[in-house]
Amino acid sequence: MAVLTENELIEIRRHLHQNPELALKEFDTHRYLLEVIGKLNQKYLELKTIPELPTALLVRVIGSEPTKTIGYRTDIDALPVTEQTGLAYASKNPGVMHACGHDLHMTVALGILSYYSEYQPLDNLIFFFQPAEESENGGKLAYEQKVFTDKWRPDEIYALHVTPDLQAGTIGCRLGTLFAGTTEVNIDLIGKGGHAAYPQEANDMVVAAAQLINQIQTIVSRSINPIEGGVITIGRMSAGTIRNVIAGKAHLEGTIRGLTQKMILKIDERIKQVAAGIATSFNAEVKVELNQGGYLPVENDPILTEQFINYVSKNPDLNYVETEPAMTGEDFGYLLSKIPGTMCWLGVEDDSQLHSAAFTPKEAAIKAGVEAFIGFFNNRMEQKRRTK
């Protein structure tokens, strides 16, 4: 098989779209990726699997005159969403859908890889097909398994994410934070249940939870710099069993979003302080669990991102726009905290948003994504040699 054509890439994308799998269960996806990669020219390729993370896959392209190793990451998992697109190639797996565009992400990666399987790059390349982005922080899991060691460790790493908000094929990027970091919040309030007619004999955790929620909502407005921004959402609350019984327990679940890790840690600390205050004022036990995992802010490396933006913005064949930070989360942020690199948006132009059951990205974006990164990588590899 030579370099994958646009039609072949679209066919690959549709197969992936029809066969989505959830985090850490991407076994058929893994097998299909191996099948496609196995048909490429193997002369410059090395493959690596990870027994501890069996759906992950790394492919190394050996450079002809390597001075560095450039990494490219794509996520491979899907979401627990029931597809409602009506497409002929809609998901065959009930309740599972590539509603976040990871089918396109994989297809772009395969397109780039197929090019370099035929045209040997100057520098080494590492392609990381990562499981479990949507949950279970697969990037962090892989890093902790020490898969990026020796010749498998990139000196820099890149990735893209599709967005329906940009015209198909448009590249969006920015210096600084592209995606927010996220932290899961779980809070348990424990008091004393009792009869609704005798509140003095009980310790009402519905009232305590209500006060806690109100006070948490002042953290962003009064503890965070307003020009930096942050979000705290309590999306779920459960308490009580019946209308005439005072609830002795309440459970809250929510999420924190912040544009820097420093901001997230500050919000974390303030939540703990507010919870401690509620515990004292209501004479209750309040347990706070904060779980960030690998979902750190996607903070683009300033030097590499400036070079990336400079390339795509000056390329007449590419359409570039500077984008604002997004409060969505992405576990590529964890890898960027360990390896310098850049993430960008790839426009896929759709009326439905990411994670929607009706999300229908335009496949014309695939070719643009492939060409943008091939061009940038070639430019990046030649750059150092031009400056000697």
Binding-site members for Mn(2+) are: 100, 102, 134, 161, 355
Which residues line the annotated binding site? 100, 102, 134, 161, 355
Q: Report residue 258 as tokens.
A: 């912040």
205 contacts 189 by C-beta, under 8 angstroms: yes
Range list of H helices, the chain: 6-18, 27-38, 102-118, 138-144, 205-223, 261-281, 302-314, 332-336, 364-386
Annotation marks residue 134 as catalytic:
yes
279 contacts 286 by C-beta, under 8 angstroms: yes
Output the CA angle 151-154-157, nearest 5 degrees: 160
Q: Report residue 131 as tokens.
A: 């499981």
Catalytic residue among 75, 204, 268, 349: 75
Integer Cα distance of 74 and 30 in angstroms: 12
241 contacts 207 by C-beta, under 8 angstroms: no
Helix (H, G, I), strand (E, B) or coil at 134: coil
- C-alpha torsion sign, points 165, 169, 174, 180: positive
Catalytic residue among 26, 134, 330, 331: 134
The end-to-end CA distance of the chain, in Å, is 36
Annotation marks residue 382 as catalytic:
no
Output the CA angle 63-66-72, nearest 5 degrees: 65
Burial-class residue 197 by CB neighbours within 10 Å (0-12, 13-18, 19+): exposed
Count the helices and strands in the chain (H runs, E runs): 9, 16
Integer Cα distance of 165 and 47 in angstroms: 35
For the annotated catalytic residues, the residue numbers are 75, 134
